Amino acid sequence: MPTMSMIEAINSAMDVALGLDPDVMIFGQDIGYFGGVFRATDKLQQRHGKQRIFDAPISEGGIVAAAVGMGAYGKRPVVEIQFADYIYPATDQIISEAARMRYRTGGEWWSPITIRSPYGGGIFGGQTHSQSPEGIFTHVAGLKIAIPSNPYDAKGLLIAAIEDDDPVLFFEPKRLYNGPFDGHHDRPVRNWAGHNDAEVPEGHYVVPLGKARRVREGGEVTILAYGTMVHVALCAAEETGIDAEIIDLRTLVPLDLDSITESVRKTGRCVVVHEATRTSGFGAELAAQVQEHCFFALEAPVERVTGWDTPYPHAFEWEYFPGPARVGEALKRVVNI
């Protein structure tokens, strides 16, 4: 089985989808001839033609609107928003239109669209190339949100998203595109070669939306994480020696509540980790769910380790980023109660 980086796996997912379904169309800024600023669509236009994969103007609202219209026509559009930070001009089309199309038309129209977008920090992108806006969209009825943490999941989840008849926001942790990253920014960069989850089949497969994955079995505390933070959590468990069970959510909506509750009932403790700002972040939802469903199993308050409630600061990226030291401190606090 070939080894793929996450960016190669994402490229492969779109290649497979274009090959299998003539209704798949892909467009976005710089994604055509050039193959995208992160190379996610490299060579796809050359392989599948300009009628199906092409460049779009710098107009996120227009891109998503066109996708909604194409979806109504019967296409299955996959669009790229170049950075998640740029998604806001498209929010009206995402929230008021795509998310509610099936509902408001009594099921006669829907928006089978996938919106791919690189998110998260760690690349010195400052406040406009580092954000994690997933929490804004988890609040919207009608959207699904998937976030992979490795190449295998990235391809399987993206194919599942494209084949899904509901609108899916597919946020890609850009810091993981070319290698796993545990938060130790001062250590040599690793690539995906040799990583278990970088063995990716060439052809079609899906990782179903709504199924979490236990990436580490443990008994002392449950860590709920997704995207880059899965690797940070693994590192924190290793460095503290705390026997943490780590659940990679993979999909925020629909949420695999059963996997979460099963683990927290077993460990009795829970730490929620995300890179996004804290207030009203998805971690708040997770903490509330754990409290509602596992209250009598809890031995300690649920902790959140998140980005601070500030914009993402360019020069203080690593003070902002919830790295393994901060996660480790939370683990120690929680297990010592």
Partner 1 sequence: MIRNSKGLHVPEPGCRPGEEPDFSHVEVPPAGEVVRPPVTVSAAEIRDHAFRLIRVLDDNGMACGDWNPALSPDMLLKGLRAMMLTRAYDARMVRVQRQGKTSFYMKCTGEEAVAVAATMALRHEDMCFPTYRQQGILLARDWPMVDMMNQVYSNSQDRLKGRQMPVFYSSREAGFFSISGNLGTQYSQAVGWAMAAAADGDERISTAWIGEGATAEGDFHHALTFASVYRAPCILNIVNNQWAISSFSGIAGGEATTFAARGLGFGIPSLRVDGNDFLAVYAVTAWAAERARTGHGPTLIELFTYRAEGHSTSDDPTRYRPSTEAGAWPLGDPLERLKRHLIVAGHWSEEQHQALAKELDEEVRAAGKLSESYGTLKEGDRWPASTMFDDVYRDMPAHLVAQRRQAGV
Can residue 82 be called a binding residue for partner 1 (CB under 8 A)?
no
Is residue 250 within the footprint of partner 1 (CB under 8 A)?
no
Give phi and psi for 29, each to the nearest 5: -75, 125
- Those residues whose C-beta lies under 8 Å from the C-beta of residue 292, and which sit 6 or more positions away, are none
User: Per rule CB under 8 A, is residue 253 in the interface with partner 1?
Assistant: yes
**Is 161:144 a contact under the CB 8 Å cutoff?**
yes
Q: Which stretch binds partner 1 (CB under 8 A): 89-97, 120-128, 237-245, 264-272?
A: 89-97
For strand 24-28 and strand 76-80, is the pairing parallel, antiparallel, or unpaired? parallel
Q: Which stretch binds partner 1 (CB under 8 A): 30-38, 56-64, 170-178, 276-284?
A: 56-64
Compute the least distance from the CB of residue 254 to partner 1, in Å.
4
Among 37, 26, 45, 150, smallest CA distance to 83 is for: 37
The kind and range of the H/E element at 219 are none
Contact 223, 327 (CB under 8 A): yes
CB distance 101 to 111 below 8 Å:
yes
Q: Which of 178, 179, 216, 257 binds partner 1 (CB under 8 A)?
A: 257
Task: Determine which residue in the list 128, 254, 280, 337 makes contact with partner 1, applying CB under 8 A.
Answer: 254
Tokens of 52: 């199906």
Q: Which stretch binds partner 1 (CB under 8 A): 73-81, 185-193, 219-227, 234-242?
A: 73-81
Inter-residue long-range contacts of 86-89, CB under 8 Å, 24+ positions, other chains counted? 86/60, 86/117, 86/128, 87/60, 87/115, 87/117, 87/133, 88/60, 88/133, 89/59, 89/60, 89/61
List the one residue from 126, 179, 201, 210 that touches partner 1 (CB under 8 A): 210
When the beta carbons of 70 and 287 are compared against partner 1, the nearer one is: 70
Interface residue with partner 1, options 97, 182, 197, 248 (CB under 8 A) = 97
Q: How many whole angstroms separate alpha carbon 272 and alpha carbon 84?
A: 22
**To the nearest whole angstrom, how small is the minimum distance from the Cβ of residue 107 to partner 1?**
5
Which stretches of 120-220 are assigned E, i.e. beta strand? Answer: 144-146, 168-173, 213-216
Among the listed residues 21, 43, 59, 288, the single contact to partner 1 using CB under 8 A: 59
For the question of residue 314 being annotated catalytic, the response is no
Interface characters, 158-197, with partner 1 (x: CB under 8 A): ------xxx-------------------------------
Contacts with partner 1 by CB under 8 A lie at 25, 51-52, 56-57, 59, 61-62, 65-70, 72-75, 77, 89, 92-93, 96-97, 101-110, 141-142, 144, 164-166, 210, 253-255, 257
Residues classed as catalytic? 129
